[in-house]
Structure 1
Amino acid sequence: MKKKFIITLLITFVCVFSTQAQVKKPTLMVIPADNWCVKNGYMDTFNDQGTIVKVPNYKRALQNSSECYNVITKINTLMSDHSFPLKDLSAVTKSMETNQAMDAVTITKSGSGLSESPLDIIKRNANADIVIELNWSVNTTGPKRSITFSLAAKDAYTDKQVAGCQGTGTPSFSSELPVLLEEAVIGSMDNFTNQLQAHFDDMMENGREVSMEVKVVDNGSGVDLTSEFDGEELTDIIDDWVSDNSVKHRYNLSQGSENFLKFEQIRIALYQANGRPNDTRRWARELVKTLSSKYKIPCRVDIRGLGKAVVMIGEK
């Protein structure tokens, strides 16, 4: 009897351990917050079709500020200690020609300006699920110092905040900034990481949120979204496709006309049927394939950042 109990206990332990080992965690990337970059002069200015746009220069911040490099490294270590996969911002910026990438996306084929921001380019190259924006400042009281911090975790596809924490550490005689940061952050980490995991668990079950616009190109073809194919309007064909290809049919058609459709809060599966990671471009490409092959409608898909697709009807 005792032997059977021990065997049952071992089997239960193995099952629990196996289940925990299979829990997937989101991939994270930590970046300095815009507010910190502005205060410390790490912003670049671009002329986007007459509009002045300011964007953070992460590469310059990491190269010129040991403070920035050290605090990001410390947060990376703390997240790694909680078993979260990480994309290191420094490694990502080194592996891509940032300036060339910025130049390449400044003007689109149609001359419509920036299709991706520099952060969008970094997100795409990093392939992170969640981006954590870190802001901090050092407080001095006599010989003691403390650090005030905030962590804002945002979904890489929607830029919606999914987790956050902030606070001020206890004043200390320590002069090491990473030590001050760890002392300030450590008490908030469990709750923060639980929020991150809850968001990722929701994505695993209900899909990742993306958006899509459908636009008709005026090229004289006579095709618009009220055109009928096999007795159905093109708007209804596209609407049915989105419904059939979203997780649990979760989406919202928020705007519509004969030349424009706007789909929001679309939930797409994180993985395709073959197990390959899914993303906005791959998902929208399936719609383009359907319209092109079944209805002979010329169309193409453009991507605006990670989480938005624009399907152009009437143009390849």
Structure 2
Amino acid sequence: MLFQDSSGELERHASAVAARGFSTNSSNYEANRPGYTEEADCDDQPQGHVSTANLAVQGFSTNSSNYEANRPGYTEEAVRIIAQAVESVPCLGESIQYQVLELGAGTGKLTQQLVKELPTSTKYLALDPSRNFLDALKQKSLGVETVEGSADCIPLPDNSVQAVVCAQSFHWFSDLDSLKSIHRVLAPGGVLVLVWNKKNFDDGWRKKILEQRFEVMQKFGAPRGVYETGKWKINIDQSPLFSLSKCYDLAGVEPIISLENIISNVTTISAYNALPSQERETYIEKLRNLLMNWPGVDPNEMKIPHTTNLYVYIAQN
């Protein structure tokens, strides 16, 4: 289903955050996080506020095995649309070094699905600031190249990329410097594809998970879910560098998971991991007990449906 959404506010640069914050336990992050990442609003924050960068530094120091194990992937429909967007770009000249540059590739949750939809001849570069996450990606033997780096300083020549893809990551680097960097490496007419899995915490026990998450996030001055607020959109939508081509609001994955899977997912959230260990464990146990005793809930079969939001932008001359 196509949709248009132009909401958003200014978001500060956070590439350096990710560089340090995703540097340790990437497996935990890969396994447990299907959705979005929380981010702090850097303007006019209350006392005690932790910046986006520092929150990520503290909070994403979780292991790659946990991330890999507990985060769901993407639906076949979403992956197919991304592949079609990549392949829709005509040959853009001899300067092209890569058909796909994936920014914030992490442990390769999207990578492993997308490469199967693309021609085997596709030159694919996966970039992430975390060596630990990239090591997990390399272990999948996907036939892609990898490089450590950040979106604001992409280590590639001008006009050398046909398509840039960002899965669960663009809100970390939607600042103007990163937009300029992405535009620089994209050939004119190239595409920027953004995709997010978003958990649907609508009611009942699911809503309680979200309420506690907000409570923890507010300790650091973080907003209620940076992706949902549209904070990432204002810079790109106001920039002459990119033009929005298509938006999709798709049915996402609906994994049936256990209570402990949910708890493992929570342990990948940046704000939780920025807490002192004893306080974090108190929150975790409180949530575990609440869900365990929720009427009618089977702790071995719990469902959190997702929506997949997908955006395709065109690089302008």
Asked if Structure 1 and Structure 2 have the same fold, meaning a TM-score greater than 0.5 normalized by the shorter chain, the answer is: no
TM-score by length of 2: 0.24
TM-score by length of 1: 0.24
Larger RCO, structures 1/2 (Cα 8 Å, 6+ apart): 2
